[in-house]
Amino acid sequence: MDIRELPDLTPTQVVELVDALLSNADTLLATALTVLEQGQVPLARSLSILGMEESGKAIAVHERRVQMTRAPDGEPFRCEALDRLWGSHHRKLEKVHDFLVEELYWFGTEPSDPTVNAAYLGTIRTWSKKQDRLKMRGFYVELSKSGEVMAPTDVVDEATLFDVISRVHQIGWQLRLGEHIEGKRQDEQEAGTPPVTNDDMGLFDRTLDATDDPELTRIMREVEEQMRRGTPGVPLNNAAYRFNPPGVDRSAFRNLDKPGYEAETRELIRLRESFDRDQCPKAD
């Protein structure tokens, strides 16, 4: 199969693309949850696979944006990896699977549950191998090889479907957290680390004085010297693709209710409601 070469994208187009992908993924997944509650399991699965494919594209664009500040200056944003993923249903679902396995931007207050993870991740892995057949089975009536009618209602796996959709529905929020995390890393790389003052070195020096291990003393002396010198900043390559361009609004709630930020908006509202409940005086 011929692989379509994507057009190169400007920094503004990259931002617009991610917003559009996450907004569409959220719409598809929200619709999947709605029809699942109505008992239409096959249709819900088909919609969720479409939503995951959009999420997979958004993850790939995010990862390429992270790579750009380390790529040679002037390198195009489009690359062969993006080209291959864009036309491959399998690669999109695999991207979602791998993103959820790695949990680079996990945001839960408690560690994730490996047992639960294994269940829904296994389902996604199965779907990635049969994506076209499973996706279409939710929309169409088909015939088996022996001529038996296979209606969409014949496909039932409700037990895991709700959890899969719920997990994937959070990818938009995780990616927005990832933008903040990666943006901060980029800022720190560019700014470097200022030298530590003598006052700030007080505790370190007292610890060093109490050490009688020669090897540990040598290592700590090297660390002390580095801290006193500081670390010079390193310029970002292709800096126009960075997550925090100069002058950008960095207020915490600047993107509430904007397209592409639906998952983030839901989570921030949930966190605020949880905070308000914790602040309410408890009845005796």
pLDDT digits (tens, 9 = 90+) for 188-231: 999 998 888 777 776 666 666 666 778 877 887 788 788 888 88
Whether residue 152 is found in the same domain as residue 26: yes
* Average pLDDT of span 26-52: 90
pLDDT value for 144: 61
Determine, yes or no, domain membership for 3. no
* In the predicted structure, residue 284 carries a pLDDT above the cut 70: no
Whether residue 99 is found in the same domain as residue 226: no
Whether residue 46 is found in the same domain as residue 73: yes
pTM flag (> 0.85)? no
Residue 217, both tokens:
């003393």
pLDDT value for 180: 93
For the chain, give the DSSP string.
-PPPPPPP--HHHHHHHHHHHHHHHHHHHHHHHHHHHTT-HHHHHHHHHHHHHHHHHHHHHHHHHHHHTTSPTT--S--HHHHHHHT-HHHHHHHHHHHHHH-TT---SS---HHHHHHHHHHHHHHHHSHHHHHHHTT--EE-TTS-EE-GGG---HHHHHHHHHHHTTHHHHHHHHHHHHHHHHHHHHH-BPPPPTTTTHHHHHHHHT---HHHHHHHHHHHHHHHH-B---PPTTGGG-SS-TT----TTTTTT-TT-HHHHHHHHHHHHHHHHHHSPPP-
Whether residue 23 is found in the same domain as residue 134: yes
Determine, yes or no, domain membership for 279. no
pLDDT value for 45: 86
| Cβ pair 190, 232 in contact under 8 A | no
Tokens 């397209």 label which residue?
259
Determine, yes or no, domain membership for 5. no
pLDDT value for 154: 47
pLDDT tens digits along 124-164: 777 666 555 555 554 455 656 666 655 555 455 676 788 78
Domains held by the chain: number: 2
Other Cβ atoms less than 10 A from the Cβ of 28: the count is: 22
Determine, yes or no, domain membership for 247. yes
* In the predicted structure, residue 103 carries a pLDDT above the cut 90: no
Is residue 281 very low, low, confident or very high in pLDDT (cuts 50, 70, 90)?
low
Other Cβ atoms less than 10 A from the Cβ of 259: the count is: 14
* Average pLDDT of span 241-258: 89
* Average pLDDT of span 231-251: 92
Whether residue 179 is found in the same domain as residue 201: no
Whether residue 54 is found in the same domain as residue 36: yes
Whether residue 181 is found in the same domain as residue 92: yes
End-to-end Cα spacing for the chain: 69
pLDDT value for 133: 54
Determine, yes or no, domain membership for 2. no
Of 38-42, 156-160, 264-268, least confident by mean pLDDT is 156-160
Whether residue 22 is found in the same domain as residue 143: yes
pLDDT value for 152: 52
Whether residue 200 is found in the same domain as residue 69: no
| Cβ pair 152, 43 in contact under 8 A | yes
Determine, yes or no, domain membership for 186. yes
Rounded (5°) CA angle 136-142-143:
145
pLDDT value for 166: 82
Whether residue 54 is found in the same domain as residue 71: yes
* Average pLDDT of span 5-10: 95
Whether residue 219 is found in the same domain as residue 147: no
* In the predicted structure, residue 112 carries a pLDDT above the cut 70: no
Whether residue 221 is found in the same domain as residue 168: no
Determine, yes or no, domain membership for 276. no
Whole-number percent of the chain with pLDDT over 70? 78
Greater model confidence, 17 or 263 = 17
Range of the domain at 211: 195-231
Determine, yes or no, domain membership for 281. no
Using CA atoms, how far apart are residues 66 and 86, in angstroms rounded to an integer?
18
Q: At what angle do helices 202-209 and 214-229 cross, to 10 degrees?
A: 160
pLDDT value for 179: 95
Other Cβ atoms less than 10 A from the Cβ of 75: the count is: 14
* In the predicted structure, residue 257 carries a pLDDT above the cut 80: yes
Q: How far is CA 66 from CA 5, 175, 236, 260, in A?
A: 21, 12, 11, 19
